[in-house]
């Protein structure tokens, strides 16, 4: 298992290198862009060239890439061109906002998904199973911005219970906690259907096992069979899928953040990409891939820890 | 990323060959098919319907933009008819999504066949590349590429093809690894058929069931993706009627005129529900023959 982890770590480093290189080259197609963007449409060509030179953007791509990676390894991600602050500072600030949202959403999604997944899977083909499956399917069919609009219309416009935006500032009448409710709700509704279906299938598989039949036949109460025997086994297979949701909750929520004007990582990346803030885009992409690969690795290793059979096979 | 019908069955290649000719769906499947057909017919007939032009402003209607006898679903902030824009928006999404998914399916299926059939070096290289693409958060990749190269229908199709192809690739590769061990493949090899023939004529048709289901799911998620890009302002450039873009333009007004954002939201939700229900129906058919 240690060897597996080391190999995966090496593979992770390689992927990060490939991604950083790809994003860097992608952003270097038109070096004049940055200076033009900074100076605005009315700057003369000379001014643009001068600034390009000043920023060192006229040197070959490879030279700048190597220099950039050297800086990154020393913890220096450069200066954000649009926010005029170090990239690390703004990235950290927005990332912690997103982590707050993701943590709450995760804490809401996982218990509910386990509950509904088990309720559906414990009686395969029953009315209860069908209705949960259809509901899960419908919920994950709704785009996040549509769910956001529907919920905002109901809770912000019609009932007036919750704020329609979540800028995380205390200026208005709404507390920070109330600003988090709707974003979390939208993320939970969109994301939960997938996990419910995952856990349901795993539960169905476990309920067909001989040891469950034995437990039922020896006269154990159905509730005890489910809680003591089935549940623990049914959660092994979806473990990786559950951990992978962290990836979506952090890096995939740009739409939710845009709907509610939430100052998070996804919106920062959108802003950075639109204003061609290369240093910020680069660093953000690295962070996103790092998160994706860490959750993947944690999922794989946790899976091996939980299920001894997989360890032996490897 | 969420593939509900995809994981609704424990066995991917069940009875694909059996009874594949009779076309029977579950109720859910028929409901899905009906929704998709309704949108497709509306989109096809859009030019023939007696609707105001999707980009024409009726400034008089701005006095009261809510639904009326002339504008059944009301008008948007520029006085453009919402019903007309929604139906013309269906044309956009029902063109872009199928082309993008077709591109991803063709690329993914061909590469998956090669990787599964030849194994060895082609397999490990292709699988690594697809892992890298899949490990990248899709929405961030969209943002970087579309803001870099500009948002056009062609670029959206290209980006979706590249990011969705690895999913189809994985599916087809896994099935090819299993199907290549079948007797009919061995028989074709004995007859001296070319590798291309074996892949396309012997293996591919036997993998079609799960591929069709996946294409259906992909259509749903691609519709969501196109809507999300429009909503983020990096979708099809205005004034082309695009559901996501329509929500973006009117979302700020929901406290006064909620219908402007709700209409396109219902449109896109219903179409995705249609694709997902059809996928559920097809999945059952693939399983039970």
Q: For B228-240, what is each residue's pLDDT tens digit?
A: 999 998 888 877 7
Please name which of A248, A247, A257 lies closest in space to residue A94, comparing C-alpha atoms.
A257
Q: Encoding tokens for residue A195?
A: 């996990």
Span B195-219, mean pLDDT?
Answer: 90
Beta carbons of B4 and A140 less than 8 Å apart? yes
Interface of A with B in 107-166 (CB under 8 A): 133-134, 136-138, 140-146, 149-150, 152-153, 156-157, 164
Contacts of B277 in chain A (CB under 8 A): 137
Please name which of A119, A114, A111 lies closest in space to residue A237, comparing C-alpha atoms.
A114
Beta bridge mates, B81: B75
**Is residue A269 less than 8 Å (CB to CB) from chain B?**
yes
Per-residue model confidence as pLDDT tens digits over A109-148: 999 999 999 999 888 888 898 889 888 888 888 999 999 9
The answer to whether A92 touches A84, Cβ cutoff 8 Å, is no
Residue B21's pLDDT is 46
Q: How many CA atoms lie within 13 A of B154 on its CB side?
A: 2
Q: Where are the beta strands (DSSP E) in B115-261?
A: none
- Look over chain A and give the mean of its residue pLDDT values, rounded to a whole number: 84
Beta carbons of B9 and A201 less than 8 Å apart? yes
**Is residue A13 less than 8 Å (CB to CB) from chain B?**
no
Residues 6+ apart with CB under 8 A from A108: A184, A188
Q: Please tell me whether the interface predicted TM-score (ipTM) of this complex is above 0.90.
A: no
Q: Encoding tokens for residue A8?
A: 């995966």
Q: How many CA atoms lie within 13 A of A293 on its CB side?
A: 23
Span A45-60, mean pLDDT?
Answer: 77
Which residue of chain A has the CA closest to B141?
A285
Residue A34's pLDDT is 67
Residue B134's pLDDT is 81
Please identify which residue in the block is written with the tokens 């199709």: B157
The answer to whether A301 touches A136, Cβ cutoff 8 Å, is no
Q: Is the dihedral of CA A82, A87, A91, A92 positive or negative?
A: negative
Count of Cβ atoms closer than 10 Å to residue A57 Cβ? 17
Please name which of A107, A94, A30, A78 lies closest in space to residue A251, comparing C-alpha atoms.
A94
Quote the crossing angle between the two packed helices B138-149 and B208-232, to the nearest 10°: 60
Beta carbons of B4 and A269 less than 8 Å apart? no
Residue B6's pLDDT is 47
Distance, CA of A56 to CA of B50 (rounded, Å): 59
Please identify which residue in the block is written with the tokens 């991803």: B104
- Assign 3-state DSSP to chain B and report helix, strand, coil percentages, each to 5: 70, 0, 25
Residues 6+ apart with CB under 8 A from B132: A15, A18, A19
Residues 6+ apart with CB under 8 A from B145: A26, B155, B159
Beta carbons of B4 and A26 less than 8 Å apart? no
Q: How far is B109 from chain A (nearest CA, A)?
A: 24
DSSP letter (8 states) at residue A171: S
Please name which of B231, B254, B260, B233 lies closest in space to residue B62, comparing C-alpha atoms.
B260
Q: State the DSSP H helix or E strand holding residue B207, giving kind and residue range, or none if neither.
A: none
Radius of gyration in angstroms for the set of CA atoms belonging to chain A, rounded to a whole number: 24
Q: Please count the residues of chain A.
A: 314
Query: Helix (H, G, I), strand (E, B), or coil: what is residue B57?
Result: strand
Residue B1's pLDDT is 40
Per-residue model confidence as pLDDT tens digits over B38-71: 999 999 988 888 777 787 777 777 777 788 777 7
Q: How far is B123 from chain A (nearest CA, A)?
A: 17
Count of Cβ atoms closer than 10 Å to residue B137 Cβ? 26
Distance, CA of A307 to CA of A300 (rounded, Å): 11
Residue A172's pLDDT is 67
Query: Helix (H, G, I), strand (E, B), or coil: what is residue A54?
Result: helix
CA distances from A249 to A246, A253, A265, B145 (A): 5, 6, 11, 22
Which of A27, A37, A102, A145 to mutate against chain B (most B CBs within 10 Å)?
A: A145
Beta bridge mates, B57: B80
Contacts of B231 in chain A (CB under 8 A): 143, 145, 255, 258-259
Which residue of chain B has the CA closest to A289?
B136
Query: Helix (H, G, I), strand (E, B), or coil: what is residue A148?
Result: helix
CA distances from A131 to A121, A146, A235 (A): 12, 22, 21
Beta carbons of A201 and B10 less than 8 Å apart? yes
CA distances from A122 to A28, A82, A205, A212, B5 (A): 55, 54, 10, 11, 18
The answer to whether B115 touches B126, Cβ cutoff 8 Å, is yes
Q: How far is B19 from chain A (nearest CA, A)?
A: 23
Contacts of B144 in chain A (CB under 8 A): 23, 26-27, 273, 281, 285
Q: How far is A102 from chain B (nearest CA, A)?
A: 15
Q: How far is A302 from chain B (nearest CA, A)?
A: 19
Quote the crossing angle between the two packed helices B208-232 and B153-179, to the nearest 10°: 150
Instruction: Pick the range with the lowest mean pLDDT from A266-280, B127-141, B200-214.
Output: B127-141
Distance, CA of B130 to CA of A236 (rounded, Å): 26
Which residue of chain A has the CA closest to B134?
A292
Beta carbons of B255 and A269 less than 8 Å apart? no
**Is residue A247 less than 8 Å (CB to CB) from chain B?**
yes
Distance, CA of B220 to CA of B101 (rounded, Å): 10
DSSP letter (8 states) at residue B80: B
Residues 6+ apart with CB under 8 A from A126: none
Residue B14's pLDDT is 42
Span A282-304, mean pLDDT?
Answer: 84
Span B60-86, mean pLDDT?
Answer: 80
The answer to whether A292 touches B135, Cβ cutoff 8 Å, is yes
Per-residue model confidence as pLDDT tens digits over A135-181: 888 888 899 999 999 999 898 888 888 887 888 776 667 787 888 88
CA distances from B71 to A251, B75, B82, B88, B89 (A): 40, 7, 7, 15, 16
Radius of gyration in angstroms for the set of CA atoms belonging to chain B, rounded to a whole number: 22
Please name which of B52, B229, B89, B6 lies closest in space to residue A258, comparing C-alpha atoms.
B229
Q: Encoding tokens for residue B241?
A: 């009627």
Max Cα separation, chain B?
A: 77
Contacts of B9 in chain A (CB under 8 A): 201
The answer to whether B83 touches B73, Cβ cutoff 8 Å, is yes
Beta carbons of B273 and A254 less than 8 Å apart? no
Among residues of chain A, what percentage have pLDDT more than 70?
Answer: 94
Beta carbons of A164 and B255 less than 8 Å apart? yes
Which of A116, A149, A191 to mutate against chain B (most B CBs within 10 Å)?
A: A149
Please name which of A163, A171, A148, A104 lies closest in space to residue A254, comparing C-alpha atoms.
A148
Distance, CA of B166 to CA of B214 (rounded, Å): 12
* pTM of this structure: 0.84
- Assign 3-state DSSP to chain A and report helix, strand, coil percentages, each to 5: 75, 0, 25
Output the CA angle A22-A25-A31, nearest 5 degrees.
155
């Amino acid at each position: 298992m240690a060897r597996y982890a080391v190999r995966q770590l090496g593979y992770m480093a390689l992927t990060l290198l490939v991604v950083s290189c790809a994003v860097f080259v992608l952003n270097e197609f038109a070096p004049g862009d940055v200076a033009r963007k900074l100076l605005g449409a009315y700057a003369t060509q000379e001014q643009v060239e001068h600034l390009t030179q000043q920023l060192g953007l006229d040197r070959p791509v490879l030279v700048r890439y190597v220099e950039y990676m050297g800086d990154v390894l020393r913890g220096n991600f450069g200066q954000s061109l649009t926010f005029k602050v170090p990239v690390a500072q703004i990235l950290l600030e927005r990332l912690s906002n997103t982590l707050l949202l993701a943590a709450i959403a995760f804490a809401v999604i996982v218990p509910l998904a386990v509950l509904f997944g088990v309720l559906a899977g414990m009686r395969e083909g029953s009315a209860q199973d069908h209705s949960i499956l259809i509901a899960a399917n419908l919920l994950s069919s709704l785009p996040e911005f549509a769910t956001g609009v529907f919920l905002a219309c109901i809770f912000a416009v019609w009932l007036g219970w919750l704020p329609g935006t979540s800028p995380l500032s205390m200026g208005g009448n709404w507390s920070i906690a109330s600003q988090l409710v709707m974003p979390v709700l939208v993320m939970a509704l969109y994301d939960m259907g997938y996990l419910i279906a995952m856990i349901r299938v795993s539960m169905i598989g476990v309920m067909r096992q001989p040891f469950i039949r034995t437990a039922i036949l020896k006269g154990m109460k159905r509730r005890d069979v489910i809680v003591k025997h089935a549940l623990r086994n049914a959660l092994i297979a979806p473990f990786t899928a559950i951990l992978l949701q962290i990836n979506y909750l952090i890096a995939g929520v740009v739409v939710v953040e845009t709907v509610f004007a939430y100052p998070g990582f996804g919106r920062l990346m959108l802003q950075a990409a639109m204003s061609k803030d290369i240093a910020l885009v680069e660093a953000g992409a690295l962070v996103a891939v790092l998160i994706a690969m860490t959750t993947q690795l944690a999922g794989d290793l946790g899976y091996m820890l939980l299920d001894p059979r997989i360890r032996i096979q490897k | 990323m969420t593939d509900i019908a995809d994981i609704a069955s424990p066995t991917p290649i069940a009875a694909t060959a059996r009874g594949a000719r009779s076309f029977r769906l579950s109720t859910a499947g028929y409901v899905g098919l009906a929704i998709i057909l309704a949108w497709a017919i509306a989109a096809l007939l859009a030019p023939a319907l007696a609707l105001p032009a999707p980009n024409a402003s009726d400034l008089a209607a701005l006095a009261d933009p809510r639904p009326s006898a002339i504008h059944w679903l009301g008008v948007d902030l520029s006085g453009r008819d919402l019903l007309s824009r929604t139906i013309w928006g269906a044309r956009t999404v029902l063109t872009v999504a199928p082309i993008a998914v077709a591109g991803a399916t063709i690329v993914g299926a061909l590469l998956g066949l090669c990787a599964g059939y030849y194994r060895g070096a082609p397999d490990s290289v292709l699988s690594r590349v697809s892992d890298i693409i899949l490990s990248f958060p899709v929405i961030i990749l969209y943002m970087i590429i579309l803001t870099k190269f500009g948002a056009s229908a062609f670029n959206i199709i290209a980006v979706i093809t590249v990011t969705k192809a690895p999913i189809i690739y994985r599916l087809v590769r896994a099935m090819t690894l299993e199907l290549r061990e079948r007797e009919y493949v061995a028989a074709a090899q004995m007859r001296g058929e070319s590798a291309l023939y074996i892949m396309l004529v012997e293996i591919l048709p036997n993998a079609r069931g799960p591929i069709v289901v996946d294409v259906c799911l992909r259509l749903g998620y691609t519709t969501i993706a196109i809507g999300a890009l429009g909503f983020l302002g990096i979708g099809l450039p205005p004034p082309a009627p695009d559901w996501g873009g329509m929500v973006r333009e009117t979302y700020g007004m929901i406290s006064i005129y909620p219908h402007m954002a709700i209409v396109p939201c219902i449109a896109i939700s219903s179409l995705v529900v249609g694709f997902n229900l059809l996928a559920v129906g097809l999945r059952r058919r693939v399983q039970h023959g």
